[in-house]
A and B are shown apart, each in its own frame.
Chain A
Amino acid sequence: MENLFFLIPALPILGFIALALFGRRMSAGAIRTMGVGSIGFSLLCALASAGQFLNAFQAGRPWVQTLWQWFAVPGLAVSVSLKLDSLSLIMALVVVFVSFLIHVYSAWYMDGDEEYGRFFAWMNLFTGAMLTLVLAGDILLLYLGWEGVGLCSYLLIGFWYKEPANARAAIKAFIVTRVGDTAFLIGLFLIALKTGTLDIAQASTSIGAMKASGLPTLIAMLLLGGAVGKSAQLPLQTWLPDAMAGPTPVSALIHAATMVTAGVYLIARMNAFFVLSPVAMEAVAAIGALTLFLAAVSALFQTDIKRMLAYSTMSQIGYMFLGLGVGAWSASLFHFMTHAFFKALLFMSAGVIIKAMHEEHDIFKIRKKLLSGTAFPVPPIAFWSFLTGGAALAALPFITSGAYSKDMIISGAWTSGHVWVWALALAGSFLTGLYTFRVFFTVFAGTGQSVYSFGGKRNLLVLIPLAVLSVFSVVAGYIKSNIIPFLGMVLPAVAPVKGEPFIVYIAPMLLPLIGIALAWLLYSPRAKATALKAWAEAAPLSGFFLRGWDFDRLYDFLIIRPYKFAGRLIQTDPVDLIYSLIAVISGLFHFVLGTSQTGKIRLYAALIGIGTAIIITWAVLF
């Protein structure tokens, strides 16, 4: 497989091309086969590569495959090269695996959509771009995948284009991430300029020699700019909640397998730059901590089930950033992995619920419908999946995978000495339990009497992904001891500077439970603390939190409106006025001079006389 692992990203891209060209003429069955099949084969390739790679694991040698020379100009040569090492392998495996399940699920979810083919084409491209990003051995190729991911998110968020809000959300997603991308690009310039190469390995090596200068910090900060855009961290997080406008499988794909995790991957991949710069590391940690807290608070106030999940993603990615920032590199990647499983699971089960409720997103309305029995009942698989996923998200200790990975990050924050970061992470931990189960209890508690039946065809297409992911959401935590050293092959390890007292060890396990308990108190059908709940929901700040701390308004006021105003201001091109003015002045001269042509002979003769006088005077005087 060493020379064939390029097929991992290539197959989805080929699938995209085939679907884009012939999708309109294919039957739904063919589209389904093509769309899911390409990812399936890609998954097989990935598994085969993994098998072989692990066999040669002891050597620790990454696989590098240079496909072709992209371009070479004096001073810089860039090639399209892929690299498989433990980091990219884990990443690719998770991406393609989750992606595959989501594709399977999509086959059910999007069944009957008038543009079934287009959907799968773009989904395939999305996966392909993400895999390119992950497997890229060259930063510029990574950037290509990076932008491709952004493009696909744009296309898919706006998939149902007939709704204007969807189109707006799609554009917002692309533009906001592109702001980050531009920082990334400038970082690329610096890397290319200073190291003379864009090959990740070479650049990482040569940057080590420039430790003394501020250069690594600058580059790392710029890369971080790119990462916060894609991963929806402060201050570029605003696109993610709106991105829920896309079909639910798209949300699942964006949140679990592709797109938002790209930022985490970027920082992990470029770790050589970050470890050289304590400043950048602190920044990563701080951004992660702040985002996780902000997002968690916002999640608490959401009524749209998907928006809640979106904020939870933001918050979880915040944990990953935090982990990267405090030096818990492997833990972050591990959290990425578990998060991919349970977040995909949550979205898919949410999708089932939403579909069953006729596209109802509001948790209170869903509850009402469930209670009144006016809607299709929710199938049990959705209930159990949501419960499993929610538990993992809330990091229910010991049994869920989320707990293993998250606890590692939190303890990493403590042991590396970032106390306030640690505190925020703990607060987030508590909030996560609260908001997750707020939704769970609101929707499901006390509705268990309904007859669960599955209304729809192709049940297996939804059952299998949910079942598989449920299992993975639980068991993925148990391979911690395998995966951490494996990632450690590539990622740096940071020695702890602080011991871990028992309270620090136990806190992250307890806090989610407290959160869940509080949620039960507040939101269960037999809730006691209704007064507190009422207060919280009527609090003056609830709207503020609901809108995600009003970043949208801030940006609208600071950037979008001035930009649009500038656009309106120069719409007719003020520079052109200068030229128009010249034309007008010339015209004015024309009319003024024209009045001199009176047609009167005597005037004409007089002018001859005056002219003569002037010429004679001039000739004689000078």
Chain B
Amino acid sequence: MAPVSIDNGLMVAWALFVLGFIGVLVRRDLVFVLMSIEVMLNAAGLAFILAGAKWGKPDGQVMFIFILATAAAEVALGLGLVLRFHHKFKTLDTDAASKMRG
């Protein structure tokens, strides 16, 4: 199996990122929005790994771990908020959270 070229890998990362972002835009459910964000973050992680591989350094992987950690923290907090969101708004539709405007 021929090694995957870095550029193709980056394409995948781009695709993942864009998909994740589209997810954020089109999904109304807060949980799905958070999941889409995870996808975006992971796309960034993937890109780091690929970049690291490109330059033959471990830095990219280190960064990926950092991203993973922060993503986990975000998700932890996010899920807490989701619970309260559901409690207060009786829905997970993000559009419901538009009390403040103008």
Contacts and interface: CB of A to CB of B under 8 A. Distances in A.
Are these two chains actual partners, yes or no?
yes
A554 interface: no
A335 to B, nearest CB: 85
Given A609-B21, A609-B25, A602 B95 contact: yes
Nearest to B33: A601
A597 interface: yes
B56 interface: no
A595 to B, nearest CB: 8
B25 A606 contact: yes
A600 B94 contact: yes
Interface string B85-96: 000000000110
B97 A601 contact: yes
Interface in A565-622: 594-595, 597-602, 605-606, 609
B2 interface: no
Nearest to B102: A594
A178 B70 CA distance: 87
B98 A598 contact: yes
B31 to A, nearest CB: 14
A594 to B, nearest CB: 5
Contacts of A599: 97-101
Contacts of B21: 605, 609
A33 B28 CA distance: 102
A598 B96 CA distance: 11
Contacts of B28: 602
Contacts of B98: 598-600
Interface string A422-462: 00000000000000000000000000000000000000000
Most buried by B among A594, A597, A602: A602
B94 A601 contact: yes
A609 B19 CA distance: 12
Contact of A605 (B24, B97, B102): B24
B101 A602 contact: no
Contacts of B101: 597-599
A605 B100 contact: no
B95 A600 contact: yes
B94 A602 contact: yes
Contacts of A609: 21, 25
* Range of interface residues on A (Cβ < 8 Å): 10 to 19
Contacts of B33: 601
A605 B95 contact: no
Contacts of B25: 602, 605-606, 609
B93 to A, nearest CB: 10
Contacts of B99: 599
Contacts of A594: 102
Nearest to B98: A599
Nearest to B30: A601
Contacts of A600: 94-95, 98
B41 to A, nearest CB: 15
A175 to B, nearest CB: 56
B95 to A, nearest CB: 5
A599 B28 CA distance: 14
Nearest to A599: B98
Interface string B52-96: 000000000000000000000000000000000000000000110
Nearest to A608: B21
A608 to B, nearest CB: 9
Nearest to A595: B102
B65 to A, nearest CB: 26
Interface in B1-44: 21, 24-26, 28, 33
Contacts of A595: 102
B2 to A, nearest CB: 30
Nearest to B101: A599
B47 to A, nearest CB: 15
A599 B101 CA distance: 5
Contacts of B100: 599
Contacts of B26: 602
Nearest to A593: B102
A152 B2 CA distance: 114
A599 B95 CA distance: 8
A600 B95 CA distance: 5
Nearest to A605: B24
B13 to A, nearest CB: 15
Nearest to A602: B25
A50 B93 CA distance: 110
Which residue, A595, A600, A606, has most C-beta atoms of chain B within 10 A?
Answer: A600
A606 B95 CA distance: 13
B24 A602 contact: yes
A599 B99 CA distance: 7
A609 B18 CA distance: 10
B10 to A, nearest CB: 15
A519 B98 CA distance: 100
A325 B97 CA distance: 95
A600 B33 CA distance: 13
Contacts of B97: 599, 601
A601 B97 CA distance: 8
A602 to B, nearest CB: 6
Contacts of A598: 98, 101
Nearest to B26: A602
A602 B26 CA distance: 8
A532 B21 CA distance: 109
Interface in A239-297: none
Contacts of B102: 594-595, 597
Contacts of A601: 33, 94-95, 97
13 contacts: A594-B102, A597-B101, A598-B98, A598-B101, A599-B99, A599-B101, A601-B97, A602-B24, A602-B28, A605-B21, A605-B24, A605-B25, A609-B25
Interface of B: 21, 24-26, 28, 33, 94-95, 97-102
Given A600-B95, A602-B25, 8 more contacts: A598-B98, A599-B97, A599-B101, A600-B98, A601-B94, A602-B24, A602-B28, A609-B25
Closest 7 CB pairs of A and B: A599-B98, A599-B101, A601-B94, A594-B102, A600-B98, A605-B24, A597-B101
